[in-house]
Chains A and B, each alone.
Chain A
């Protein structure tokens, strides 16, 4: 299957790992990601004028017309903004998060296990925008847990999986991010598994020895694409 692809600004920069691993997984399952030409920044959470913010994503949808019907956006902020603009525009596209695609194609079942997660403990952490607001949330709010346990791993952190890491305040009030991130780090155990570039940076910055990994890294490890996690 072919999808339009909206990487967003962080995935072509600091979250390059999320970009490359998303492409790798989709390719591995026979799906093509075609980058929308000349896409514009979605504005993330930086704009106070709602129309201005929505117009950024609407212009991206305009560029995707005739190019694709389904758009995959891995960054939670981009995904939310695109999905809202699409709903506002009458919903002619399907805006998908990779987690929704993984769920839809039940890739957990189709994976040929090369490494299991037996004896390892993980904290799947979703953060905010993947789960809120309701209108733009991903479909399965336990997909990361389902995946980890299916491959023999143990999970922790149910109580904090949807708490805020404060990533949005990282370059404004760093102490606030530190305090909020530590609430998540200190109340959980095992490797922290995330899908948001901002959560990754916040948790990694303030965790001492805890490993912070993208969910994609976990998938690639189980699939045998990497030997180390």
Chain B
């Protein structure tokens, strides 16, 4: 029994710690979310709904505020498009896409493409697209992006990578 209580306490501590980290990374403090009125206007305008997936940013905010777990496969964590429709309509302008980005980064939910993007920035200070495409080639082949290449000819240009001076 004692062991179970310890596990529960440990889990609660971890969730609270994780939520605090996510909130901090997104530039907020926990109390900033206390202003949320629960009006759910964010849910009514969320682009993720257009994918026929129920999305409720307000519920995600409440979970972070109350120290509840937000699952890795939460629809917003997986499909938020950074459209800022929620922020635009929120009476408090809460920047939910930025909270979700912090969530994705904290939990390491990144595609091969996103990792390659950041890899290029680390090396050169800029995104060098040929590097990003090469690094994510297996993913893109597997996922069938190759079929769109004929439509992308106009995007092709040649330049060598340039490493910037100073940060």
Query: A residues within 8 Å of B by Cβ?
Result: 9-10, 12-17, 38-41, 43-51, 59, 63, 128-129, 131-134, 163-164, 166-169, 171-174, 176, 179-180, 183, 201, 204-205
Contact = CB atoms under 8 A, between A and B. Distances in A.
Contact of B25 (A15, A44, A48, A183): A48
B54 interface: no
26 contacts: A13-B127, A14-B152, A38-B164, A40-B121, A44-B117, A47-B101, A48-B105, A49-B25, A49-B105, A50-B27, A63-B166, A128-B82, A131-B88, A132-B83, A132-B87, A133-B84, A134-B93, A163-B47, A164-B83, A167-B81, A168-B82, A169-B81, A171-B111, A171-B139, A176-B51, A180-B50
Nearest to B118: A46
Contacts of B78: 173
B25 A50 contact: yes
Nearest to B95: A133
Contacts of B44: none
Contacts of B88: 131-134
Interface stretch (B5-13, B31-39, B60-68, B154-162): B154-162
Nearest to B129: A13
B126 A128 contact: no
A59 B166 CA distance: 9
Nearest to A135: B93
B101 A48 contact: yes
Nearest to A63: B166
A2 to B, nearest CB: 22
Contacts of B111: 171-172
A179 B167 CA distance: 39
Interface in B98-113: 98, 101-106, 111, 113
Contacts of B50: 163-164, 179-180, 183
A67 B147 CA distance: 44
Contacts of B51: 176, 179-180
B85 A205 contact: no
A23 to B, nearest CB: 14
A41 B50 CA distance: 31
Given A166-B47, A173-B78, A48 B151 contact: no
B155 A180 contact: no
Contact of B164 (A40, A49, A51, A183): A40
A15 B113 contact: no
B84 A48 contact: no
B81 A166 contact: yes
A128 B151 CA distance: 23
Contacts of B129: 9-10, 13-14
Given A14-B129, A14-B155, A171-B111, A49 B148 contact: no
Contacts of B114: 46, 171-172
Contacts of A45: 82, 97, 101
